[in-house]
A and B are shown apart, each in its own frame.
Chain A
Amino acid sequence: MAEIFEMGIADIRSGVASGDFTAKEVAETFIARVSAAKSLNAVLVETPDHALAAAEATDKAKAAGETLGKMAGVPIGMKDLFCTEGVATTAGSLILEGFTPQYESTVSSNLFKAGAGMLGKLNMDQFAMGSSNETSAFGNVISPWRRNDGGNTDLAPGGSSGGSAAVVSGRICPAATGTDTGGSIRQPAAFVGITGFKPTYGRCSRWGTIAFASSLDQAGPMAHDVRDCAIMLEAMAGFDPKDSTSLELPVPEWEAGLKSDLAGKRIGIPKEYRVDNMPSEIDALWQQGIEWLKDAGAKIVDVSLPHTKYALPAYYIIAPAEASSNLARYDGVRYGMRDLPDGAGLQDMYAATREAGFGPEVKRRIMIGTYVLSAGYYDAYYTQAQKVRTLISQNFDKTWESCDLLLTPTAPSAAFGLGEKSDDPLAMYLNDVFTVPSSLAGLPAISVPAGLDGQGLPLGLQIIGKALDEQSVFNAGLALEERAGFVAKPEQWW
């Protein structure tokens, strides 16, 4: 038997269910892993008591012969964007320092009801705005991965779910929650060689998840493999009357439906995803992915999504516009930081609090968003961006006439060194070029680790599916996973 800490959700669950080990042993194992991984700066708040209490409940339920939940005995890491009752929640920002919610987000609550425990709150780009975890107010997460050049350059774990990516790839937590607005699950999953899944917009409730861009934000699982993601998403998803954009649909049994035989499936290869300056290794991996899917029985078709090149600019109008409004509530009045200079009035307090509380990237996006919504600019920016968004959705709809799924790389590069791009926001934004279009269209997508580049760093392939067709996305992901045989793990140096 493998060591417990190397196990994912499915193995832990079956080990607990069959009595190979107790949930408590599992919790203790990972609590120790968390506590020993402080140098990665991936965990903002450790919550061993929560993990232990959930484990004890599982052990008790098992002893009583009760049916165990989907996540029974599995302790997970929780991205700090999810409000957790009684546990400090900051979204990686100083402006929420000291805020402890009196309520539990629907997603975390669903996971706990399914038997999961929580090991800790995970570091992230501030308000989920970033692709490297460098915008966190509490210091960047360091990726467990190192280049194979013998040097020890600290690498970015990707973002914004960088803490989640780091703890899962470092086997510090067996799985973690992520959120994806423009690629924040898939890009970090690709950077650290794990599997990350963004469901159809509306599958997971946004209630209790701190909002970045409401029309795009979607929670999803980050885990070792496709099966673990399917199990965890089943536990996270579901209709929530408290979220008006939540889908009123039953949650399919994705795990039970997993099947890597793709006979009859048509996989589209969108030509617009061949971008300039993409490393040849990524292009080669994409070609390899095509062969793997053919081998799984799928038919490959060339397709075109002509408006793809406008997706990134449209995203960087819509997301900041929504964020500029969503973040207005952080005003120093009711929770979190308050900066009240001597003699300050209300407006001075707002300004001082927001000046001190928000990091530079958050301020940049609030300013972009405020600008594009301003009188005289609204039509030129926001209205146009919404039109582009509609066109991008229509591109996908049109594509589904000739194929069932799309195969693309997840990100245009492997993980980069911390600090290498942090001075150039535009270069950083380009990380999302392959993930943003499906976010704008609200489509389900997965990133599966598929190989290593010349520096020994993981690369991911992305499968994008039709709205609500998570099952086909999981299945194609499974077909890639089986053929890629990706077993590389970071060596423990921390």
Chain B
Amino acid sequence: MSMTESTYRIQGGTGEWEVVIGLEVHAQITTNAKLFSGASTEFGAEPNTQVSLVDAAMPGMLPVLNKECVRQAVRTGLAIDAQINKYSRFDRKNYFYADLPQGYQISQLYHPIVGEGKIEISLDEKDPDAHGKTIGVERIHIEQDAGKLMHDQHPTMSYVDLNRCGVALMEIVSMPDMASPKEAAAYVRKLRSILRYVGSCDGNMEQGSMRADVNVSVRKPGDELGTRTETKNVNSLRYIQQVIEYEAQRQVDVIESGDEIVQETRLFDPDKNETRSMRSKEDAHDYRYFPDPDLLPLELEDDFIFDCKASLPELPDEKRARYKNVLGLSAYNAAVLTAEHETAIWFEELLETTDEPEKIASSAANWLTSELFGALNKMGLSIEKSPVSPQQAAELLGLIADGTISGKIAKQVFEIMLETGDGAAKIVEEKGLKQESDTGAIEKVIADVMAANKDKVAQYRGGKDKLFGFFVGQTMKAMQGKANPQVVNELLKKTLGPAG
């Protein structure tokens, strides 16, 4: 697999620079309860209504590990082909801040639950296999989220909302394997897709369930790694790419002006599209990590890991290969239909209506990616909210396949389905949209058309073969578009005879 065409370079005054990118993605684990307390994790609740005594760090409160979070982290690790560490441990990261009532975050520094794994990314949806790259994942560990500070509620005070405090996160740390903003975006997109397939994170970046710390450095091609900066809490694909573009250019400018890059933590300002220094390594916190004495080391049984593995769905890469190789879809359709788990589920429900899915798979895939996606896009709906069910779509496609309606009429039927929610057969029946394939009826109309256009018949027979389309149009029009176009063609050719 290669990707030479996408090689990304910064043009500096001293020549070309390449960019090295690593991402630490924080993904909120999909569970009803927080990592160490029974409090709810529902998004959008009134501030400070989802806070237990543990989350508020009341005296004498103790953490109890939520097993579902462990299960989801292990399943995620298995989904990226990672080593699962049977022994892991929780450590305290100590620092004082208003969003952290305990004065420490419970995380896993020394012994993370998931070790090295990998994610295949593609840089071209149309032909993913020809433009792929493997991005290494260094580790995944489990940790608590902090609360949220609100600085805009009062002129002189900041408010704190502890609803998010203690919510379970997976920190997924990549290797510095990405070399362009596009690769970073492809990595996050693919990671998000895997997490959603696995069901371990909803991947909702707007609601903060997924955000990334972006590590960027630059170097002359072939040189050692340069000094990196880390831009914290970037919460959209677009921003991630902007951060990389900005940081790479800034670093090149700094180095070329004779200065050095300082290893530091930076913040992204989307309004100004720039990153700003937050703190340098010298004023970095000393987090005084040590094993949390309130929690025993986490030891996983083989059976548990086996059950996690058995519970995984077919993952996007496997699914894409199957769509291509077994169902015979185009590489593009296979990629598009597998990128989102919900799309694949919808597609497969449609295929389930037949015993021979490979027969309808390609036409169904084409219809999905053009007609359905187009309609949903217009309505601003996701596929789970589609007003037309996979079973209804199967019915519609069946009517096209058996010649009951033409592709053109099908578009009309589909629009009515979207509006009314009625079934395709019912609509065809009620609106009389059934395609006319009866040769007698069509021949009669053709005769009428020819009789009404004797001059054109003569011209056609005289050699003006372009008029054939005119006769097709007139015949279809007379039959309100319901004539089977193939039959019309054949009969017209026979009746008109050769042109010229």
Contacts and interface: CB of A to CB of B under 8 A. Distances in A.
Contact of B293 (A214, A241, A333, A347): A214
B53 interface: yes
Nearest to B98: A346
Nearest to A241: B64
Contact of A325 (B56, B59, B65, B94): B94
Interface string A357-375: 0000000000000100111
Contacts, number: 97
B101 interface: yes
Interface in A27-84: 82-83
Contacts of A378: 288, 290
Given A370-B288, A374-B288, A382-B290, A325 B96 contact: no
Contacts of B58: 83, 101, 103, 334-335
Interface string A361-396: 000000000100111001000100000000000000
B45 to A, nearest CB: 19
B92 interface: yes
A309 B65 CA distance: 36
A304 to B, nearest CB: 29
Identify which of A242, A329, A350 gathers the most chain B CB atoms within 10 Å of its CB.
A329
Contacts of B447: none
A91 B59 CA distance: 10
Contact of B59 (A83, A215, A373): A83
Contact of A206 (B53, B62, B94): B62
A325 B290 contact: yes
Nearest to A334: B56
Given A83-B60, A334-B56, A329 B293 contact: no
Interface in B98-150: 98, 101-104
Contacts of A213: 293
B57 A334 contact: yes
Contact of A244 (B53, B64, B103, B290): B64
A373 B94 contact: yes
Interface string A195-222: 0000000000011111101110000000
A245 interface: yes
A99 interface: yes
A329 B96 contact: no
B286 A207 contact: no
Size bin of chain A's contact surface: 35 or more
Given A89-B59, A211-B60, A350-B96, A244 B101 contact: no
A105 interface: yes
B98 A243 contact: no
A321 interface: yes
Given A333-B101, A370-B288, A373-B94, A242 B59 contact: no
Contacts of A335: 58-59
B401 interface: no
B290 A207 contact: no
B59 A331 contact: no
Interface string B267-309: 0000000000000000000101110011110000000000000
Nearest to B64: A244
A103 B53 contact: yes
A211 B59 CA distance: 7
B63 interface: yes
A96 B60 CA distance: 12
B62 A375 contact: no
A169 B376 CA distance: 80
B296 A321 contact: no
A244 B296 contact: yes
A322 interface: yes
A284 interface: no
A105 B293 CA distance: 19
B68 to A, nearest CB: 15
A329 B60 contact: no
Nearest to A217: B293
Nearest to B288: A373
A214 B102 CA distance: 14
B61 interface: yes
A101 B63 CA distance: 18
A83 B62 CA distance: 13
Identify which of B58, B92, B97, B296 gathers the most chain A CB atoms within 10 Å of its CB.
B58
A329 B101 contact: yes
Nearest to B285: A375
A243 B62 contact: yes
Nearest to B36: A244
Interface string B44-72: 00000000010011111111110000000
A328 interface: yes
B50 to A, nearest CB: 16
Interface string B79-98: 00000000000001010111
B62 A321 contact: no
A327 B104 CA distance: 10
Contacts of A101: 58-60
Contacts of B293: 213-215, 245, 322
Contacts of B103: 325, 327-329, 331
Contact of B94 (A208, A328, A350): A328
B59 A99 contact: yes
9 contacts: A91-B59, A208-B61, A211-B59, A243-B64, A244-B63, A328-B104, A334-B57, A373-B94, A375-B288
Given A329-B59, A346-B97, 8 more contacts: A83-B59, A89-B59, A245-B293, A334-B56, A335-B58, A346-B98, A350-B96, A373-B290
Name the 6 nearest CB pairs between A and B, nearest first: A328-B103, A373-B288, A214-B293, A215-B293, A329-B57, A208-B60
